[in-house]
Amino acid sequence: MAHDVVVLALHGMGDHDRTFDVALKDELAGRLDSSDWARVYYDQIFYQDVLQPNQRACWTRMKTRDVDWTTLRKFLLFGFSDAAGLERRANVTGSPYDQAQQRVLDALDRAYNFIGAAKPVVLIAHSLGGQVLSNYIWDAQRPNPRQGVWKGGGPPSSDPALTRFRRLKTLKFFYSTGCNIPIFVAGLPRNKIKAVKTSGAGYNFQWKNYYDADDVLGWPLKPLSTSYRGALTVDKQVNAGGGVLGTLAKSWNPFSHGQYWTDGDVLRPLVRDIRSLLP
């Protein structure tokens, strides 16, 4: 059966492995009709191993001292070193910034090579993943970016459809959950805080952001600036997880930050949007 839509999931900060998206994939497969799911090309974008070996070595050294709150400490060490490391020396070829963008490009190439056409794309990014994808789209939209895979014109190709697909010009929905973009732009004056373009110059997609008020790493995005207010289609507060997990989330902990991808308030519109792209 032909695949009619590409769905790509990107993890956030923390010590992840390649099972990070199992719950999301299972939820989507269960909520879509089997015939609809068969037409979805699903893949993950995994970049954690760009920094993970150094982080794990550092964590091992830190554990030689007597410290409390080890679970929280580990989450913060991996999470915030992700954020710092991925932005460092962004203009240097082979930097973590560059490598993370290469993982996005690789996933797009896999999809294009498998399907053989530039199909509509849905991106689902959690936490720091929202910043990674925003950077990728931002650079792809610039005529002469100074960093990332689009520096110097980007990867060569004689296929205009592939180039368009790589630049995410077939992107239709961008979902960000527990997004922490404000951490990266808060030091800028408001008029300098710019969002990616969701329309114009070959782009036409909806950006939907979901955050839990009790998740200190998840933020609304519209208040950032006039640019973000115009770029976001949805900027919605949810109770990530609900039930017992929702109760736990009232006193923030790393576990609550990871509950968006099994939350009905996120999954219902996501499934509707995927279904809307199926002919």
CATH class belonging to 5-276: alpha beta
Q: Could you tell me the two tokens for 70?
A: 């080890």
**Whether the predicted pLDDT of 88 surpasses 80:** no
pLDDT at 80: 54
pLDDT at 191 over 70: yes
Q: In the prediction, which pLDDT does 178 show?
A: 93
User: pLDDT value at position 41?
Assistant: 98
- Mean pLDDT of the 194-207 span: 97
Residue 75 has pLDDT above 50, yes or no: yes
- Read off the pLDDT band of 115 (50, 70, 90): very high
For position 251, what pLDDT does the model report? 40
**Residue 27 contacts by C-beta under 8 Å, 6 or more apart in sequence?**
261, 262, 267
Check residue 72 and give its pLDDT: 60
Name the residue ranges covered by the structural domains of the chain: 5-276
pLDDT at residue number 214: 81
> Long-range contacts made by residues 216-223, C-beta under 8 angstroms, separation at least 24?
216/252, 217/13, 217/79, 217/127, 217/178, 217/180, 217/257, 218/127, 218/177, 218/178, 218/179, 218/180, 218/257, 218/260, 219/179, 219/180, 219/181, 219/182, 219/183, 221/176, 221/179, 221/181, 221/182, 221/195
Res. 247: pLDDT tops 50? no
pLDDT tens by residue, 252-265: 454 566 789 999 99
Report, as an integer, the average pLDDT of 2-28.
Answer: 90
What tens digit of pLDDT does each residue of 25-74 get? 999 999 999 999 999 999 999 987 766 554 444 445 555 555 545 566 55
Rounded Cα gap, residues 274 and 276, in angstroms: 5
pTM to 2 decimal places: 0.87
